[in-house]
Amino acid sequence: MSAATPDHDLATLAGAIARGEISARDAVRRAIARARAWQPAINAFVAIDEERAMQRAGEADRMRASGAALPPLHGVPVAIKDMFDRDGQAPGCGAGPGKARAGLRDAALVEALARSGAVVVGSLNMTEYALGLTGHNDHVGDCRNPWSRDRVTGGSSSGPAAAVAARIVPAAIGSDTGASIRIPAAWCGVAGLKPTHGLVDGRGAMPMSFALDTIGPLATTMRGAAMLLDAISSRSRGAPHPACRGGRLDGLRIGVARAHFGDGLDPGVERALISTIATLRGLGATIGEAPAAQADLARRLHRLMMAAEAATLHDRQLREDPGRFTAEVRYRLELGRRIPATAHLSAARGRARLLRAYMSEAFAGCDVLLTALVPRPAPEIERTRFGAPGFAPELLADIPKRTQPFNYLGLPALAMPCGFAGGMPVGCQLAGRPFDEATLLAVGEAHEAVTDWHRRMPDPPTGAPP
């Protein structure tokens, strides 16, 4: 494992640039050098935008020299999943390289990053049209886990998780419709937040499901994730629960949901979860049991809605040019086309009612829920490739059951690094009330202060800058 340096944390790096301890050009140059060194090993990037990034970094340095007031992420290098429109450039969305398109304006997310002063250094690998949870990609090549090159990263935000885990950039932007930030974050050992549905403007982002899509940060630390969330949110995330003070959680009620969420866990994952519970209790939190409520129903309704809406978005292309999709994605879309409109509408109409019932039951005796997130460490690439000789579908069958309920309900959920199993990182999940991301991040930061999981880093390729 390698040692962390100051520019591996977004908040630390932002402060150093603002004080003039490091120039934006140097910070961006180092990120690009790391990207090029890591790329042959993990294939995290679809495109490294060196010319535009260095131009923006130079502008940032001149702005600081002028004495002007600086935005919060001034000159900090970040990267974005390849699903956001940029000025004159359409994203590839996991189906190949992006293409020039005259008149195309920046996505709302890209505009928000520019206002914050962040410098986008490139576009990151993702699963084809975000339809998959492994990170496999037959168009641009698989993204590989920095901790073990023969393991998946998780998907569909594979590139963001890999780039942050490798410390190429201190933070990145992904999307989460059913698990796509949290599973890669857990399998790569970084923080990843699915915000409350609607908190981040999706204009100019590739849609997958009208009702479920969210955009959020992945970062090496919780405060880095918090700063990036502040930069891209359409509203303030507010203050954390009053019990979260000074790195303590005295009196915060954490409900551990074991039913549904705790089934079938790898022994190493279960040990990590038990250790996390003990750590949070040691920080002063009150730990109790929380009911699963109707989590399984929420999961099933989520899968129905996501499949139907994805199929609707791609229906014309699927009819006119089915060969443009790989076999796995085409299979998923065909399943979605078979869902009756009445079933989709029933799932959509029942969402608010189920949310009210879930909040009154699952959150009746707690402020935050704690659950397992992934049941096992990241599996091998060849055992999870659709149709391959070694394909073992049982390795993936129950992976998203712990994440999908919170997408259907629209609640914020955070992937928090909590240990290792079999030499690979794992994470647990914190879920909160609507628009209470601040409490989840405060709990995550308190946990970071007394553990070192977030500081552990995979060994870089030979010649990569530290």
pLDDT digits (tens, 9 = 90+) for 150-166: 999 999 999 999 999 99
Element (H, E) at 288: strand 286-290
103 confidence band (pLDDT: 50, 70, 90): confident
Helix axes 24-42, 50-65, angle to 10 degrees: 160
Residue keyed to tokens 């959020």: 216
Q: Which two tokens stand for residue 260?
A: 């549904």
Q: Which two tokens stand for residue 140?
A: 């641009």
The number of beta carbons lying within 10 Å of the beta carbon of residue 248 is: 14
Rounded Cα–Cα distance for residues 369 and 293 (Å): 12
pLDDT score for 390: 87
* Average of per-residue pLDDT values in the chain: 96
Kindly state the greatest CA–CA separation across the chain.
Answer: 61
Model confidence over 15-71: pLDDT tens digits?
Answer: 999 999 999 999 999 999 999 999 999 999 999 999 999 999 999 999 999 999 999
User: What's the rounded mean pLDDT across residues 108-114?
Assistant: 98
Sequence-ordered alpha helix ranges (H) in 314-364: 315-320, 327-337, 341-349, 351-362
Q: Tell me if 78 sits within 8 A of 118, measured CB to CB.
A: yes
pLDDT score for 6: 65
Q: Is 194 assigned a catalytic role?
A: no
The number of beta carbons lying within 10 Å of the beta carbon of residue 127 is: 29
Running DSSP on this structure, what letter comes out for residue 289? E
Rounded Cα–Cα distance for residues 388 and 224 (Å): 38
pLDDT score for 110: 98
DSSP notation for 377-397:
SPPBSTTSSTT-TT--GGGTT
395 confidence band (pLDDT: 50, 70, 90): confident
Residue 4: pLDDT over 70: no
Residues of the chain with pLDDT > 90: what percent? 92
Q: Tell me if 181 sits within 8 A of 200, measured CB to CB.
A: no
Q: Is 66 assigned a catalytic role?
A: no
Q: Tell me, rounded to whole angstroms, the distance of Cα 73 from its chain centroid.
A: 19
User: What's the rounded mean pLDDT across residues 371-386?
Assistant: 95
Running DSSP on this structure, what letter comes out for residue 420? E
Q: Which two tokens stand for residue 158?
A: 């594979």
Catalytic residue among 23, 123, 158, 180: 180
Model confidence over 405-461: pLDDT tens digits?
Answer: 999 999 999 999 999 999 999 999 999 999 999 999 999 999 999 999 999 999 999
Please report, to the nearest 10 degrees, the dihedral formed by the alpha carbons of residues 75, 81, 84, 86 taken in order.
40
Burial readout 266-283 (b: 16 or more C-beta within 10 A, e: otherwise) = bebbbbbbeebbeebeeb
pLDDT score for 96: 93
pLDDT score for 463: 82
Rounded Cα–Cα distance for residues 464 and 35 (Å): 9
1 CB-contact burial (10 Å; exposed 0-12 / middle 13-18 / buried 19+): exposed
Torsion region of 320: left, alpha or beta (phi above 0 gives left; psi -120 to 50 gives alpha): alpha
Q: Is 234 assigned a catalytic role?
A: no
User: What's the rounded mean pLDDT across residues 383-397?
Assistant: 88
19 CB-contact burial (10 Å; exposed 0-12 / middle 13-18 / buried 19+): exposed
Q: Which of 1-5, 260-264, 421-425 has the lowest mean pLDDT?
A: 1-5
User: What's the rounded mean pLDDT across residues 361-372?
Assistant: 97
The number of beta carbons lying within 10 Å of the beta carbon of residue 58 is: 16
260 confidence band (pLDDT: 50, 70, 90): very high
Q: Which two tokens stand for residue 278?
A: 């003990």
pLDDT score for 388: 86
Question: Closest Cα partner for 179 from 405, 378, 445?
Answer: 405
Question: Closest Cα partner for 154 from 164, 170, 169, 143?
Answer: 143
Decide: helix, strand or coil at residue 370: strand
Residue 116: pLDDT over 90: yes
pLDDT score for 194: 98
Q: Going by C-beta distance under 8 Å and a sequence separation of 6 or more, which residues neighbour residue 248?
A: 283, 284, 446
User: What's the rounded mean pLDDT across residues 124-149?
Assistant: 96
Q: Is the whole-model pTM more than 0.85?
A: yes
Model confidence over 263-317: pLDDT tens digits?
Answer: 999 999 999 999 999 999 999 999 999 999 999 999 999 999 999 999 999 999 9
Residue 2: pLDDT over 70: no
pLDDT score for 393: 87
User: What's the rounded mean pLDDT across residues 247-274?
Assistant: 96
What residue ranges define each of the domains in the chain, with the CATH number in brackets? 6-455 (3.90.1300.10)
Q: Tell me if 37 sits within 8 A of 463, measured CB to CB.
A: yes
Question: Closest Cα partner for 231 from 202, 191, 200?
Answer: 200
pLDDT score for 25: 98
Rounded Cα–Cα distance for residues 319 and 67 (Å): 57
Residue 105: pLDDT over 70: yes
The upper half-sphere exposure of residue 398, i.e. CA atoms within 13 Å in the direction of its Cβ, equals 15
User: What's the rounded mean pLDDT across residues 132-146?
Assistant: 96
Catalytic residue among 81, 194, 209, 401: 81
Catalytic residue among 116, 123, 156, 157: 156
Question: Could you give the angle at the alpha carbon of 305 between the alpha carbons of 46 and 199, nearest 5°?
Answer: 65
Model confidence over 325-353: pLDDT tens digits?
Answer: 999 999 999 999 999 999 999 999 999 99
Model confidence over 187-227: pLDDT tens digits?
Answer: 999 999 999 999 999 999 999 999 999 999 999 999 999 99
Rounded Cα–Cα distance for residues 137 and 352 (Å): 35
Q: Tell me, rounded to whole angstroms, the distance of Cα 373 from its chain centroid.
A: 13
pLDDT score for 236: 85
Rounded Cα–Cα distance for residues 150 and 340 (Å): 39
pLDDT score for 115: 98
Determine how β-strand 286-290 pairs with β-strand 253-257: parallel
